[in-house]
A and B are shown apart, each in its own frame.
Chain A
Amino acid sequence: MITCKVCNNQEYQGVLFCGECGSQVAFTSDKMVNTLVYPNQIRGLEVDFSQTIPKKLLENSTFILYSTEREEVIEIPEQNEFTIGRFVEGQVITPDVDLNNYEAYDMGISRLHATIRINTEKNTISVVDLGSANGSSVNGYEIPANSEVPLNHGDVLSLGKFNMKVILPKDMK
């Protein structure tokens, strides 16, 4: 048997890569073992998402929120700041983007869940969770309420359980 230097998993003689962690276990020089890349380096990657998103959308000139589960573009107003939430009859302040069409209630979306801000001067887009009941997250990491969090091309923004992919226009990538 041979032992994986990274995760101590035991493999049969003749195996080239550890079945548990994927590290090379045979014919390695010492420096080859440490090829693990720091996760944030990958999170920050700018890559071609043509596999995830219809090609047409990638050549867009505007900012897009895309529901991967529904495979459709979510309608957003053409303004530099707008709120997303769930419209309820008799509500005083209504959200600019109403997600009732996306089973908002079941998804745990609050009436006023989040604000999206587009900063045309700095060329950035950010999200602010408005103290929603079920919270928001970016790429699976929960974000604190009432503070501005930047959004990058390809990020997954989740409001409650509802996921949207952030697609930036070409000039903002």
Chain B
Amino acid sequence: MPDKTDFYRRLNIGTGASEEAIKKAYRLAVRKTHPDVNRNDGATQLFLDIQEAYKILSDPNRKGDYDQGRDPHDISSGILTAIEYSQEALLRLEEPQVIYSLVDIVSTKDEEQKSVDLPLNISLVLDNSTSMKGPRLDILRAATKEIISDLGEDDLVSVISFNDRAKVLLTSQTQPSDVQVETALNDLYAEGGTEIFQGIEAGYEEIRKHPTLNYVNHIILITDGHTYGDEDNCIALANTAADQDIGISGLGIGIEWNDEFVDQLCALTGGQSLFVHDLEQVKEFLEHSVASLKEAFSRRLTLEVTLAPGVKMLSAFRILPEAIPLPIQENYSLGILKKHQPHRVLFEFLVDPIPGEIDRAVIVSGEFIIKKKIRDQVIPITLDRTLSSDIENLEPPPPEIFKAISHLTFYRLQEKAQQDIASGNPGTAYQRLLNLSSHLMAKGEDALAKIAMNEADYIKSHNNFSPTGKKQLKYGTMRLLLPEKI
């Protein structure tokens, strides 16, 4: 049981301090203890202690728990976390070093039995711009119909079509009749351009008609086009949606759509993004999306991280449940937490030289927040390592993290090849893809190796990626990051 006054003491205030006073005391304390200013021994730990205290005291709910002597971190929670590092220890070096960390979180069976299953509130946002004409829309209609008929009694569904404007084909409701669905989808015909914002905004509004606390909320976007000029609005909306526990997943059809942008939307909200070339996979994607939402244990999982001073985050990549690169930020939306299936994120940190006298250094402190129907659960995590001077006898990293880093390297190479093209260096891109192809081949990824090689050859003659190959390579290498390929 924690000391009831310790956090107040850390901020140098009384237990009756007002919200304003806490904030003021925190700012003062940060100014005094920030390791950039305060170079005394133990300053880093002091700084982190103050962060921890403020995190709890600035949140009325958790402050209440703390004041009543309850552990605000709620550790006995039936949730397990596991952390693996690329190195046994941090090295005592005069120069910065890189360390990778694989962070897992999973719920236990006991905990799941205690929890209440949440119904879904999904909005299918379908692109009906001119380019969707013909087979694309036909398949979409059929797949949508099938998905809706598979939903449970309490699941809410809405259907939106969008081009330059959005149209609500089916308002948010449970168990629409076959006739209703049929009529709604008959209104789905191809015309106009693609403005994604119109579509996701309408989907968002439909979902918001019901309290998001009681559902697993998700927008499923299917598009084949390139949105222009409304990207910033979309990003802002994705952030708002994430704050309200609404996720967005995207499926791109064909070669025209803007994959970087859709990836970003999905990464911000903890959703997934996929590329299909074969229309028949549209149905698979929809089925997979809905099935995985149904496995939700929590409507949303977030991870807040505070980097220790002298630590820089170089990259973050969600590996499970679906692989997607995450933007570097302090608050990660990781999507729903699935029952008994781990969520896994791979982080890459750059750590500045660590002062000689410290034996154990904190890299990151943070907490997972599991949003559930009744009460949110907070699971604190600390990434730290002891220090070692023995640079000669390093243990190789555990196989799981080694594999993840190796696959991340593949993803990075294709990303770099894209940057090479963008900066007018097709020769470098060519060489890079040859290397990538070789490494893929060595790892037994023949199909992807051949695609990389074809792309290298294509770049040699066209000075650019082929539109299909570019996306295949990106989503192919992204998929490699999954521990077992799906």
Contacts and interface: CB of A to CB of B under 8 A. Distances in A.
Interface of A: 1, 11-17, 19-24, 26-27, 35-37, 39, 41-43, 45, 47-55, 68-69, 71, 137, 139-142, 154, 156, 158, 161, 163
Contact of B396 (A19, A27, A52, A71): A27
A13 B86 contact: no
B461 A1 contact: no
Interface in B50-70: none
Contacts of B452: 42
A14 B348 CA distance: 10
Interface stretch (B93-101, B188-196, B214-222, B233-241): B93-101
Interface stretch (B244-252, B324-332, B402-410): B402-410
A12 B350 contact: yes
Contact of A13 (B95, B255, B396, B453): B95
A55 B437 CA distance: 24
B98 A37 contact: no
A106 to B, nearest CB: 15
B447 interface: yes
Interface in B465-480: 466-468, 472, 476
Contacts of B413: 22
A30 B357 CA distance: 36
Interface string B393-430: 01011000010011001101100100000000000000
B435 A12 contact: no
A73 to B, nearest CB: 13
B451 interface: yes
A99 to B, nearest CB: 18
Interface residues of B, number: 58
B472 A22 contact: no
A55 B97 contact: no
B405 A16 contact: yes
6 contacts: A14-B87, A42-B438, A47-B447, A52-B468, A140-B460, A154-B450
Contact of B453 (A36, A42, A137): A42
7 tightest A-B contacts by CB? Answer: A140-B457, A14-B98, A17-B409, A140-B461, A13-B97, A14-B97, A47-B447
A16 B86 contact: yes
A71 B371 CA distance: 43
A35 B439 contact: yes
B277 A51 contact: yes
A52 B457 contact: no
Contacts of A19: 409, 412, 416
Nearest to A49: B447
Contacts of A142: 461
Nearest to A18: B409
Contacts of A137: 461
A139 B98 contact: no
Chain A binding site: helix, strand, loop or mixed by DSSP?
Answer: loop
Most buried by A among B350, B402, B453: B453
Nearest to B443: A35
B364 interface: no
Contacts of B402: 16
Q: Interface centre among B442, B446, B452, B461, by most A CB within 10 Å?
A: B461
Given A14-B87, A54-B278, A139 B435 contact: no
B449 A42 contact: yes
A156 B454 CA distance: 8
Given A35-B442, A39-B453, A41-B441, A22 B93 contact: no
B226 interface: no
Given A13-B95, A19-B416, A140 B462 contact: yes
A51 B447 contact: yes
Given A39-B434, A49-B447, 19 more contacts: A1-B95, A11-B98, A12-B98, A13-B98, A14-B97, A22-B413, A23-B435, A23-B439, A35-B442, A36-B438, A42-B449, A42-B452, A47-B447, A51-B277, A51-B472, A55-B280, A71-B254, A140-B460, A156-B457
A14 B353 CA distance: 13
A52 B461 contact: no
B181 interface: no
B357 to A, nearest CB: 21
B432 interface: yes
B458 interface: yes
B454 A13 contact: no
The interface centre, meaning the residue of B394, B439, B462 with most chain A CB atoms within 10 A of its CB, is B439
Nearest to B452: A42
Contact of B447 (A20, A48, A140, A156): A48
A40 to B, nearest CB: 9
A42 B437 contact: yes
Nearest to B460: A140
| B441, B456, B476: most-surrounded residue (chain A CB, <10 A) | B441
B279 interface: yes
B436 interface: yes
